[in-house]
Amino acid sequence: MTLNRRLFLGTSIAAAGGLAVPMVRAQGKPRVVVVGGGAGGATAARYIAKDSKGAIDVTLIEPSRTYYTCFFSNLYIGGLRDLQSIAHSYGTLASKFGINVVHDWVISVDRDAKTVSLASGGSLPYDRLILSPGIDFIEDSVPGWSVESQNAMPHAYKGGSQTELLKAQIEAMPQGGTFAMIAPPNPYRCPPGPYERVSMIAHKLKAENPTAKILILDPKEAFSKQALFVEGWQTHYPGMIERIGPDFGGGNVSVNPEEMTVDIDGDVQKVDVCNVIPAQKAGQIAEAAGLTDGNWAPVNPTDLSSSMDENIHVLGDAAAQGAMPKSGFAANSQAKVCANAVGGALTGSTVFPARFSNTCWSLIDTDDGVKVGASYEAGESEIVAIDSFISQTNETAEVREETYEESVGWYQAITEDMFGKA
Amino acid sequence: MPSRPIYLTLLTGTLLAGPVGAQGGDGQALYRECIACHQIGPDSENSVGPHLNDLIGRLAAGVEGYPYSKAMSAAGAAGMVWTKDTLDAFLTNPMDMLPHTSMGYRGMPDPQDRATLIAFLATGPDDATAEATFNVAPEILALQGDLAYGEYLSGDCTACHARGTDDGIPSISGLSRDAFVTLMQAYKQGAVTHPVMTMMAGRLSNEEIAALAAYFESVD
Ligand SMILES: Cc1cc2nc3c(=O)[nH]c(=O)nc-3n(C[C@H](O)[C@H](O)[C@H](O)COP(=O)(O)OP(=O)(O)OC[C@H]3O[C@@H](n4cnc5c(N)ncnc54)[C@H](O)[C@@H]3O)c2cc1C
């Protein structure tokens, strides 16, 4: 059981603060260090800074000056958004919220000394550490592929240059060529992501290269929103997309990046573009800090604190938290619960009960959006779902268009929630 | 990007399936956009907005006992009467026609929809459909919400509701408490349905809705 679990006393909200034991510090403000300026980290940093009104010293460490969201990166590949529209900077977090933004890479965590070391050589002390490092890839999960071959066979599963590369490769495909995607096994970042990507690539190819083929090699029996995607593919892209599941060898695939070939259960095929999305694990720093069990970092559902270290919280894709999918929406939702708990621990501010939600939209074709979502709460040992919904097959074009427009509203809102409104 | 208020358009699709009168059908469905704030038909009373019985020919701000905004009262004092034309202009975008009106509704851009709705307002609802009014119990509207709790709970909303833009998802910042509570209760009680909001409102207690209302009224 968690030591730092705080009880919430019914509707008399003010009472809850009584259980919190504020950090007593000899000097200076309590310090929070956040590693990773993505959906989880940027949100956590902003909420802690905003809610503590300067009482907590917040440092955000992120190597990139520009964060390219993975969300809507498929729309960029499909030609429905430009790159600039999915790029975000950290300027407002620094100027408006007083966050100390450090562009550096954390190489290790000393949990006893409560410090993190930076690639540039320095080290920073923390009272609470928040890790939201996203994902890394499991080596050899697709035989023949390694991170060194990512220029020949991009994953495009971290934002930015990889996404640009994949788009450029698709544009350079010969007429009638073949695009292959190697889909990842569960669990992975953004369950509908690969299939939305296929949809957006089909959208692009339909206009630019209509005789091209798309081949999905999938180790999973079933995938997120499958009925909706399959229906949409039949309607919009008949005959273009073929998916080979595990029953037909989709789970026994290796690649040769030099030859640009894919070996599907012994059948070697030449392809023009190959998008390899390997099996995934928590961003490497979580493992380096000794916070992982298997591939992910287990956390307590009430405040996302690590099961291994109560002064460290792990958010977003890297966390093993229970029922929430690995999505930007989920990371943002977890970050707000974590921020509230960290504020309570360090300044004695009121801690409210954890509540989470998620919605993932996917675009199948222009104005044909679908969504799936759920609400969650903290269960005994992990986050559990309370309620959920999903788009239906056969919805009217009007409903689908509104669903897409909602996703545009969401993108605007969540990126402002992460980075602040300039 | 169309800045159509999605809140309402979806309803058309969802609610047409319900038991609607033979000819009032489309108008009644469009009236769903008003239902959270206005009652119409027998026994109607003022709620968030004034009742809309006998609207055509009525003087603006003409319902006794309803606390109109200065803007609406001034229009009435100047002799503005609700006709098909004035309603058409008002419903296109209330804030454009009457800056500072307290009607927190973004407007109905489609002229055909407006004409259908106005025809419905002129005849009133079918007797067969008692569901043309939605009413929040006064004790629920009277609940005092906790601002700090509301601010925390708003974290569950801000991933979708941006401030100051209605693009794709309506802005909810600055909504009056009554309008906010009524809209949330309408989702919670199923008078208005939308997959996301039905789920979000469904998990909130009346006290939590009051807390959110207090918070969102306080931000602009
Ligand atoms: C194609 C695609 C489509 C998607 N679509 C959606 C969608 O529609 N909706 C949705 O909700 N989600 C979507 N997602 C998922 C979403 O992008 C992730 O779930 C989300 O970004 C996770 O947030 P995070 O904070 O865990 O990690 P990230 O957002 O990846 O942030 C991690 C950050 O940490 C930094 N970092 C890592 N290690 C270190 C270190 N040692 N030191 C310093 N910094 C470090 C990285 O540079 C990175 O910026 C999509 C993902 C993909 C790939």
Residue A216 pairs in a beta bridge with: A181, A243
Q: How far does the centroid of ligand 1 lie from the alpha carbon of residue A166, in Å? A: 18
**pLDDT the model gives residue A94:** 97
pLDDT of A9 > 90? The answer is no
Torsion angle of C-alpha atoms B211, B214, B217, B220, degrees rounded to 10: -70
> Best mutation site among A375, A376, A384 for testing chain B: the one with the most B CBs within 10 Å?
A375
Cβ neighbours for A416, distance < 8 A, ≥ 6 positions apart:
B158, B162, B163
Q: Name the residue at shortest CA distance from atom 17 of ligand 1.
A: A70
At B114-131, the pLDDT tens digits run 999 999 998 877 654 444
Flag if A333 and B203 touch (Cβ within 8 Å): no
pLDDT tens-digit profile of A216-268? 999 999 999 999 999 999 999 999 999 999 999 999 999 999 999 999 999 99
Contacts of B199 in chain A (CB under 8 A): 357, 373-375, 387-389
Sign of the CA dihedral running A256, A261, A264, A268? negative
CATH superfamily, region B7-123: Cytochrome c-like domain (1.10.760.10)
Q: pLDDT exceeding 90 applies to what percent of chain A?
A: 93
Contact between A370 and A389 under an 8 Å Cβ cutoff? The reply is no
Chain region(s) in chain B for CATH 1.10.760.10: 7-123, 137-218
A200: phi then psi, degrees, rounded to nearest 5: -70, -35
Partner-chain contact B167 A413, CB within 8 Å: no
Please report, as a single letter, which amino acid is at residue B34: C
Higher pLDDT, B120 or A206: A206
Maximum alpha-carbon separation in chain B:
48
All structural domains of chain A: 22-136+280-351 (3.50.50.60), 146-276 (3.50.50.60)
Q: Do A282 and A295 meet the contact criterion of CB atoms below 8 Å apart?
A: yes
Q: Cβ–Cβ of B165/A409 closer than 8 Å?
A: yes
What is chain A's mean pLDDT, rounded? 93
Q: Which residue of A has its CA nearest to B170?
A: A409
Which residue minimizes the CA distance to atom 46 of ligand 1? Answer: A36
B17 to chain A, minimum CA–CA distance in Å?
A: 13
With an 8 Å Cβ cutoff, are B167 and A410 in contact?
no
Give the total residue count for chain A.
422
Strands A31-35 and A87-89: unpaired
Residue B190 CA to its chain's centroid (Å): 15
Q: Is the peptide bond before B109 cis (omega within 30 degrees of 0)?
A: no
Q: What is the pLDDT of residues B48-98, one digit of tens each?
A: 899 999 999 899 999 999 999 999 999 999 999 999 999 999 999 998 999
pLDDT score, position B25 = 58
Q: Would you state the pLDDT for residue B6? A: 28
pLDDT, residue B165, reads 84
Tokens at A185, concatenated: 């096994």
Asked if A334 and A316 touch (Cβ cutoff 8 Å), the reply is yes
At a CB cut-off of 8 Å and minimum separation 6, what does A252 contact?
A264, A265
Is the pLDDT at B156 greater than 60, yes or no? yes
DSSP assignments along A17-85, one per residue: GGG--PPP-SSS--EEEEE--SHHHHHHHHHHHHHHTTSSEEEEE-S-SEEEPSTTHHHHHTTSS-GGG
Return the CATH fold of B137-218: Cytochrome Bc1 Complex; Chain D, domain 2 (1.10.760)
Which pair of structure tokens corresponds to residue A217? 């090699």
Q: What is the pLDDT of residues A82-117, one digit of tens each?
A: 999 999 999 999 999 999 999 999 999 999 999 999
Residue B201: pLDDT band with limits 50, 70, 90: very high
pLDDT tens, A167-201?
A: 999 999 999 999 999 999 999 999 999 999 999 99
